[in-house]
Structure 1
């Protein structure tokens, strides 16, 4: 368990360093970095950036184009990439799962299944 926590902490630190060095990303709809988020359907303005930063290590996006894996480079608010549409569904799924725990704590994250990969690393049970 400690090894997993250490791996998550190192991945989060690496993501923070990567974002701190980002010089020219585009935020919002067509605005520059730091612009207000546009077209939020699942996340809130208060939690979207923390979630975006968590996706990089959870899905191994650092070597797959970072934000552009899910977002259109010139218009991050666009919903034209299937990866973004799927990410929204997965965020809702994780929220639904966590809402079922009576203690109110986060038990499931993207990393729970993805383990640093864009494809889940766990296989669903076989259908009968």
Structure 2
């Protein structure tokens, strides 16, 4: 639940960037397929958070037109990263979210692993 709260904070307006699940003929939206970590209700806000945190579009991890497909290896990496962030936050006894995708990625698909060089004279 606290992970979802972080997602909502990060996503802001971007959380609606992905298309809504397709509606069946005259029925409610169909549930997302091939979910392994997120719940159906978490998918849209989480995808918006990924987009904001990594600065990427849906097809960075997904196959265009077949979001359920697992053929892009980046999708499996994303699942592992979600688990890592959830595990990191579970270590804090206060129940607050301390780590998000943005904590490391800062809008880039590859996090920087070393600080930038100091400006001259510093």
TM-score by length of 2: 0.72
Contact 1:94–1:110 at 8 Å: present in 2 too? Answer: yes
Q: CA deviation at 1:122?
A: 3.3
- What is the CA–CA distance in structure 1 between the aligned matches of 2:42 and 2:20, rounded to whole Å? 18
Q: Rg: which structure is higher?
A: 2
CA offsets 1:42-74 (integer angstroms, 9 cap, x no match): 11112222111111110001xxxx111110012
Contact 1:114 1:120 in 2 (8 A): yes
Deviation >2 Å, runs of 4+: 11-14, 32-35
2:78 matched to which residue of 1? Answer: 87
Aligned partner of 2:53 among 54, 58, 65: 58
Contact 2:11/2:46, CA 8 A, preserved across alignment: no
Gaps of 5+ in 2: 1-8, 24-28, 115-122
Higher relative contact order (Cα pairs below 8 Å, separated by 6+ residues): 2
User: Once the 2 structures are TM-superposed, how far is the Cα of residue 14 of structure 1 from its aligned partner?
Assistant: 5.1
Q: For the residues of structure 2 that align with 1:39 and 1:55, how far apart are their CA atoms?
A: 18
The number of aligned residues is 101
The unaligned stretches of length 5 or more in structure 1 are 1-8, 124-128
Q: CA RMSD in A?
A: 2.2
